[in-house]
């Protein structure tokens, strides 16, 4: 399964998303109120268990974790970096 699809399924399956079909990959999960700081921690745990990537403290920023697109790009960067 594609990375974005796995992330989408996790987000829509674990957080309240009023319009799942309308949630674009580029939509801000924080601005929409889909996730809060606790939700970010849950996403980190999912990324670590599902993709085997470690999220360092300085990587917990909206540029990496605020949308499905950004999360998928972050996972790919971490995979390439090994």
Mean pLDDT of 24-40: 96
Average confidence score pLDDT of the chain: 95
Band (82; pLDDT cuts 50, 70, 90): confident
H or E segment at 10? helix 3-14
Task: Give me the phi and psi of 33, to 5 degrees please.
Answer: 75, 15
Asked whether the beta carbons of 71 and 46 are under 8 A apart, the reply is no
Terminal alpha carbon distance of the chain:
20
Asked whether the beta carbons of 67 and 27 are under 8 A apart, the reply is yes
């Amino acid at each position: 399964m594609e990375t974005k699809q796995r992330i989408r399924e996790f987000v829509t399956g674990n957080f309240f998303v009023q319009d799942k079909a309308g949630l674009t990959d580029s939509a801000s999960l924080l601005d929409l109120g889909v996730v809060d700081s606790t939700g970010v921690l849950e996403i980190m745990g999912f990324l670590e268990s599902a993709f085997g990537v470690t999220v360092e403290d300085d990587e917990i920023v909206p540029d990496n974790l605020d949308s499905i697109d950004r999360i998928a790009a972050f996972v790919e960067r971490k995979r390439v970096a090994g």
